[in-house]
Structure 1
Amino acid sequence: MCTNITLTAKNGDIFFGRTMDLDISMFGEDPGLDLDITLATVPKHINIASQVSPWTSKYTVLGVMTKYTTVMYDGMNEHGLVGDMQVLVEATTKNTQDIIDDGKQPLLTEEFVLYILSNFKTVAEIKEHYKEFVLADEPFVYKGQNLHFPLHYTFVDTTGEGIVLEPVLDGGFKLYDYVDVMTNSPEYNYHTTNIRHYINLSDIDHPTHRVMKNKVDVEPIEHGTGYGLFGLPGDYTSPSRFIRSFYLKNMLDDFDTNKGINRLYSVFRPIIVPRGLEHKKAEMSITDYTRYWSGYDVTKQIAYTQTGEGLAITAKELDTSLTDITYHAIHLDNNVVFAS
C-alpha cells in the first residue's frame, strides 16, 4: 500500500514523506467509491466529532484527509510531530465496551493519526501514553459504507526520534523504534531483520575488473556503474520496498536543509508505483498504484503533495491562526512551465 521515509539534513532538520498506494479512487480518477482527498488544517481547541470517542484538539494539525471526516492519512502538527498510517493485515481490534470496561480509551483505526497529532507534542509523550489506547472493532462509516482498514502507524518528532505502533495485541499496540523507513505487512520486526540479508549492498562501484583462476579477465559492464547495488530488490512488494527505501536513504549524500524536499522527493522516485502494474484480478480495471506522494518540511512547517494524476506539487504552510477546519485544494494538473 505505502512507504514512508525520513531524512535528516546536516543541521538536524527533519523531512518526512510517504507514498499512498491504494486501489480506491481518491481524486475522482476511478469509478465507484471515492475518498475525496484534500489537504486540510484542523485547528487547536475545537471539538473533533469522532464516530466513537469525540475529543478536543490541543494542537493545530496540517495533513492529507478525506474531506468532512476525521480520517487523516498523514500529517504534521504545530510542534513538529509528524506521522502516517499504512496497511498491516495482522492488525487487530477489540470490542468497544470491553475496552471501556478495561479502563482504556477506544479509538477508531482510521482516526488514530489525527488523534495522536492533535494531542501530543513529541514521541516521548506518545511512549508515556500509548498503552492507554485500544483500537475498537467498529467500522468507519463513510458515504453509507462501512470501511475498515487494518493499519499500523509511524510518528517522528523534531529530534528525529521515531516510533512504529502496531495494534497486534487484541487492539493494543506493540511499540518499535523506527529506523527511518516503513512499509506494509508483515510486522515491523520482520522488516528490521530482513535488512540484514542485504548488508552486502554498497554505494561503491565494483572494481574495474577481476582475473579468474583460468586467467580470464572479466570486466564489469559500463565500467561497473551501479554494481554496488546489484541485487537490490526492484519489485513493489512491501518487503522489497522496505529494503530499497532503507538502503537508498542511507546512501544519499549529506545535504543542507534548503535541499531537503528535493532530496526527499528524489529518494521516493524508485518507490512510486506507476498505474497499471498491480491488478488484484485480471478482470479488474482499477489497480493499486501511487495515488499521491506527500512530503513534510518539519522545520518550516510546510506540507507538499503531488498526485498520481499530474506533475503539479501543492504546498501549504501550517497556519495556527485558523479557528475552523479548512480544506486546501490539491492541484491535479501538470503545471508545466514551457521554456520561452
Structure 2
Amino acid sequence: MCTAMTLQSQSNKLFFGRTMDFSHDIIPQIYIIPNSYVWYNNLNNNQIKDSYRFIGLGQELDGILGFFDGVNEKGLAAATLYFAGYAQYNTTACNDTEPIASIDFLHYILGRCSSVKELPDLLKKITVVGVPDPVTKTIAPLHWIVADRSGACAVIEPTDKGLELTDNPIGVMTNSPDFHWHMTNLRNYIEASPEQTEEAFWDSVKLTPFGQATGTMPLPGGFTSPERFVRTAYLKTHLPKPKDNREAIAACFHILASVSIPKGAVITNRNTYDYTKYTAFINTSTCEYFYKTYDDVNIKVASLWQTQRRSSDMTHLPFK
C-alpha cells in the first residue's frame, strides 16, 4: 500500500512525492550516490556504472541496497510501489537484453536516465527479473512511477506483455489493479465537485444540506488502492495551483494526509499493522527531499548537494 503523486507550481516547478505504507519493519536511510558510482547487479554480479548523481530513500539489508524513491541531478524522480496480483516478471533476460533485478530497477533508471522521454529506449535494452528482497524474503510485486522537471509523468508495469510504459496524465499512482483500470475507474466519480449542492426536491419534499462539501459526497473514504487513487486525483486536480515552492510543499503534504494510514486502521493476515511509515516530497528542480515520519510530524529537509560533489563513495544520512 502506497500512494504517489506529482504537483506543479505556478512557476512550473515539479514536485514528486509518495506515502510509504508498509506492514513490514523497515529502517530507511537517505543515500547520496555519486555519478560514476560502480555497483553490482543482484542477478549476475555484473558491474554497473551510474551516469548521474542521485539522492534516494532506501534500505541496505543482508548486503543488498534497495531504493524506495529518489531523484537524480537531471531532475528525474521515481518511486517503487507494490503491484500485488498483477506484476509478472521474466525469469531470464530475453532478446539479448541486460537482466536487471526487480529490486535494482529504481537504482538503474535513476543512475542512467535523465528524462521520461528517454525511458522507451532504455526499457528496450533491459529485462526486469523478479528476485526475492531481503525485507519480505519474497519476490515483491512492483511497479514504478517516474516524472521529470518538464512535468512529464509515466508508469512502468511488468506484465505478461513485458515492461509496459504508460503516459500518466493525472500524475497519481497507487497499487493494484493496473494503471489503465484506475484511470477508467475515475469515471465512476464524475459527479464529485468542490461546488455546493444547495437543495433538491424529492416530489414535494425539499432536501437541504447539513453544511458545506456536499459536492464531495461521491468520493470514497477507505484505504484501498482504488479509493486512495480517486481521493488523491480529485484533490490534486482541484487544488489552486501553488504560487511558490513553500506553498507547493504545504499543498503536497495536505493532499497525501488524506490517504495516510494511521497505525491500527489496517491489519494484515499476518497480524501486523500496515501504515504510513513516512511521507516524502521532492523538488525536482533543486533535488531537495522534504519528509516526515510516522512518529514525527515535523518536516525535515535533505539535499542532493549537501555533501562533497566529487566524492566517489556512496554517502548515507540518518533518516529520523
Normalising by the smaller structure, the TM-score range is over 0.9
Counterpart of 1:91?
87
1:114 aligns with 2:107: yes
**Alpha-carbon contact 1:50-1:70 (below 8 Å) kept:** no
Aligned pair partner of 1:70 in 47, 56, 65? 65
Distance 1:139 1:199, change over 3 A: same
**Alpha-carbon contact 1:75-1:117 (below 8 Å) kept:** yes
Structure-2 separation of matches of 1:57 and 1:70: 15
Counterpart of 1:337?
none
TM-score under structure 2 length normalisation: 0.92
How far off its partner does 1:300 sit?
Answer: 1.9
**Alpha-carbon contact 1:260-1:297 (below 8 Å) kept:** no
How far off its partner does 1:212 sit?
Answer: 4.2
Deviation track 1:53-95 (CA, whole Å, cap 9, x = no partner) reads: 4310100110101036331100000000001011112111222
1:185 aligns with 2:176: yes
User: Which letter does structure 1 place at the counterpart of 2:2?
Assistant: C
SS state of the match for residue 35, structure 2?
A: coil
Structure-1 separation of matches of 2:66 and 2:149: 24
Deviation track 1:220-260 (CA, whole Å, cap 9, x = no partner) reads: 102xx011111200100001110111111101012112211
SS state of the match for residue 311, structure 1?
A: strand
Counterparts of residues 166-181 of structure 1 (less than 5 Å): 166-169=157-160, 172-178=162-168, 179-181=170-172
Counterpart of 2:239?
252
Counterpart of 2:291?
305
**Alpha-carbon contact 2:145-2:153 (below 8 Å) kept:** yes
**Alpha-carbon contact 1:314-1:330 (below 8 Å) kept:** no
Counterpart of 2:118?
125
Structure-2 separation of matches of 1:265 and 1:23: 22
Distance 1:10 1:124, change over 3 A: same
| Greater C-alpha radius of gyration | 1
Counterparts of residues 10-89 of structure 1 (less than 5 Å): 10-26=10-26, 36-52=27-43, 53-67=46-60, 69-89=64-84
1:277 aligns with 2:270: no
Structure-2 separation of matches of 1:138 and 1:194: 31
Structure 2 unaligned runs (5+)? none
Deviation track 1:119-164 (CA, whole Å, cap 9, x = no partner) reads: 0100011122212221114324x38x84421100111011101110
Deviation track 1:169-219 (CA, whole Å, cap 9, x = no partner) reads: 36x211111120000011111001001111111111112x334432x3322
TM-score under structure 1 length normalisation: 0.87
1:5 aligns with 2:5: yes
**Alpha-carbon contact 1:70-1:114 (below 8 Å) kept:** no
User: Which letter does structure 2 place at the counterpart of 1:317?
Assistant: S
Aligned identity (percent) is 27
Structure-1 separation of matches of 2:200 and 2:140: 52
Counterpart of 1:219?
208
User: Which letter does structure 2 place at the counterpart of 1:260?
Assistant: A
**Alpha-carbon contact 1:14-1:298 (below 8 Å) kept:** yes
How far off its partner does 1:317 sit?
Answer: 1.0
User: Which letter does structure 1 place at the counterpart of 2:141?
Assistant: P
SS state of the match for residue 148, structure 1?
A: coil
Structure-2 separation of matches of 1:64 and 1:75: 6
**Alpha-carbon contact 2:131-2:138 (below 8 Å) kept:** no
Structure-1 separation of matches of 2:149 and 2:200: 47
Aligned length: 310
User: Which letter does structure 2 place at the counterpart of 1:88?
Assistant: F
1:196 aligns with 2:183: no
Structure-2 separation of matches of 1:184 and 1:8: 23
Counterpart of 2:131?
138
Structure 1 unaligned runs (5+)? 27-35, 332-340
User: Which letter does structure 2 place at the counterpart of 1:41?
Assistant: I
